Amino acid sequence: MSADQSHAEPEFRSQAAKFRYGIVLLILLALVVFEIVAPDSNGERAITVGLAGAALIVAVATSRMPTRRRHPLELAVSCLVAVLVVAIATGLLSAAFAHATVALLALLIPITIVRGLLRLVGERGATLQAIAGALAIYVLLGIIFASVIGFIAEVQSQPYFAQGNVSNGDHFYYSFTVLTTTGFGDYTAATPGGHALAVLEMLIGQLYLVTVIGVLIGHYISRRTEAEPSS
């Protein structure tokens, strides 16, 4: 191998594994908005799985694992997501399975990006990409809880909500009002298990905002203030 090739390979790895947490965040926001506004159908659930899979693929692409491991993993995830999307769209897999799949994909994303996120913060401090990554994990919390609620609503005999059966979009709407402790009160869980899940989501959401998002934004503002020339 020539010297030019040996220098080009590390450079390629560096370029191929740039931090892309902002893209992950945008895909997740698109998933949430789409899920809320789209009517319930096999196609809607398939697109939701596809968006969650796309976010996972970008998360894998931005991870700091070696290229020889990252590229095969990207391909494997892409093929698996494509198969799942087709199977869900054609009705071969149930709605409960679709909810469980979204929850699993949403859980795998923070597991995939947390190492690179910690490395980014350690090397460069609280950057906009680091904040985007932290916010992506926050959005993922709402998606995971919404998908778990959707799964429970599909498999249990009684309605999950005191207001009766609701749409998948309402599951997401409810999850994010709980996560942010907005609490409009238009939907309430009907069972003790649903109440416990709501309390868990509220606690995790608020603790995460205070301990992770708050600290990162505080450090980012502090760095920007220190970098500004004094008048």
Query: Quick one: pLDDT at residue 11?
Result: 39
Mean confidence (pLDDT) of the chain: 88
Which stretches within the chain are classed as H helix? 3-16, 21-37, 42-61, 67-89, 95-124, 128-155, 168-179, 192-208, 214-227
Is the pLDDT at 16 greater than 80, yes or no? no
Return d(Cα 67, Cα 75) in angstroms, integer: 12
Question: Among 113, 138, 117, 141, which Cα is nearest to 127's?
Answer: 117
What is the arithmetic mean of pLDDT over 64-74? 85
Locate 192 and state its tokens: 């003790």
Over 80: is that where the pLDDT of 108 sits? yes
* pLDDT at residue 10 in the model: 44
Of these ranges, 58-62, 64-68, 130-134, 196-200, the one predicted with the greatest mean pLDDT is 196-200
Between residues 231 and 9, the one the model is more confident about = 231
Cα–Cα distance measured from residue 116 to residue 121, given in angstroms and rounded to the nearest whole number:
9
Q: Which residues pair with 189 in a beta bridge?
A: 161
pLDDT above 90: residue 8: no
The 10 Å Cβ neighbour count of residue 29 is: 14
Q: Is the pLDDT of residue 32 over 60?
A: yes
Of the given ranges (92-101, 138-147, 222-231), which has the lowest mean pLDDT? 222-231
In sequence order, what are the residues at sequence separation of 6 or more whose Cβ sits closer than 8 angstroms to the Cβ of residue 205?
138, 141, 142, 178, 179, 180, 181
Summarize the confidence of residues 1-11 as an average pLDDT: 45
Residues 164-185 have a mean pLDDT of 93
- Give the contacts of 58 (CB within 8 A, at least 6 positions apart): 20, 23, 24, 27
User: For residue 12, how many other CB atoms are within 10 A of its CB?
Assistant: 11
Q: How confident is the model at residue 229 (pLDDT cuts 50, 70, 90)?
A: low
Average pLDDT over residues 54-69: 87
Give the domain ranges of the chain: 3-226
pLDDT of the residue at 123: 83
Q: In the beta sheet, which residues pair with residue 161?
A: 189
Cα 64 from Cα 161, distance rounded (Å):
42
Phi-psi domain of 142 (left: phi exceeds 0; alpha: psi -120 through 50; beta: other): alpha
Helices (H), 62-127: 67-89, 95-124
